[in-house]
């Protein structure tokens, strides 16, 4: 059985631009079906692309970066910095005397910059009112689907050093 059987032995142009209205209805439907199947192929290609990225993505290597001196950040204050690249904005918070936490400043919803709300002790995204926990970076409220990526800090003497990023899984 031939898979692609032509409707007639007429030339292709005659087949596609038919005179009969009845034939035209078939051609319209067939062409619409073809369009849908190509869209389906596109969806499949998208899934394959994600699979490839998942298979061949390398484990990122994070450089160590000196952020600031610990005493530069007041209690209840913040320090903005960029890590691991100059394009990645991060926020360092000192909620109390001994605690320093740092997160990516990009909201996981639509990448707006989050800011620290000291009165409520949480990170807030002004765009769609997404709130994040200071302790863990988890989503407290709003549309963000994932927690904020955390910057792992080390204290070396008086300096605060960013060591790596930790992408936290939801749930």
Partner 1 sequence: MEPQNQPTRKHGLTTIDGALALIVILLIVQMWLLTATLESYLAGHHEVVLSAAIISGVLFLICAALYLFVIRIEAEERKAQRETSGFRETQNFH
Q: How large is the C-alpha radius of gyration of the chain?
A: 28
DSSP codes, 80-130: EEE-SSTT-EEEEE--SSS--EEEESB-TTT-PBPEEETTTTEEEETTTTE
Please say which residue, 3 or 119, places its beta carbon nearer to partner 1: 3
Q: Does 17 bind partner 1 (CB under 8 A)?
A: no
Q: Does 32 bind partner 1 (CB under 8 A)?
A: yes
Interacting residues of 138 by C-beta distance below 8 A, sequence separation 6+: 132, 147, 168
Q: Does 58 bind partner 1 (CB under 8 A)?
A: no
How far apart are alpha carbons 143 and 153 in whole angstroms? 28
Q: Does 56 bind partner 1 (CB under 8 A)?
A: no
Please say which residue, 94 or 109, places its beta carbon nearer to partner 1: 109
Please say which residue, 81 or 108, places its beta carbon nearer to partner 1: 108
Residues that bind partner 1 (CB under 8 A): 3-8, 20-23, 25-26, 29-30, 32-34, 36-37, 39-41, 43-44, 46-48, 50-51, 53-54, 145-146, 167-170
């Amino acid at each position: 059985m031939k898979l692609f059987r032509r409707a007639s032995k007429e030339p292709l142009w005659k087949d596609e631009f038919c005179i009969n209205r009845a034939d035209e209805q078939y051609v319209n439907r067939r062409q619409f079906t073809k369009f849908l199947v190509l869209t389906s192929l596109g969806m499949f290609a998208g899934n394959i692309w994600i699979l490839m990225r998942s298979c061949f993505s390398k484990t990122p290597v994070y450089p160590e970066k000196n952020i600031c001196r610990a005493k530069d950040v007041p209690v209840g204050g913040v320090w903005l910095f960029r890590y691991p690249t100059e394009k990645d904005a991060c926020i360092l918070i000192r909620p109390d005397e001994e605690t320093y936490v740092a997160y990516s400043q990009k909201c996981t919803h639509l990448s707006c910059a989050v800011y620290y709300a000291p009165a409520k002790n949480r990170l807030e995204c002004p765009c769609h009112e997404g709130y994040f926990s200071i302790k863990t970076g988890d989503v407290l409220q709003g549309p963000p689907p994932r927690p904020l990526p955390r910057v792992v800090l080390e204290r070396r003497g008086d300096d605060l050093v960013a060591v790596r990023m930790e992408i936290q899984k939801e749930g």
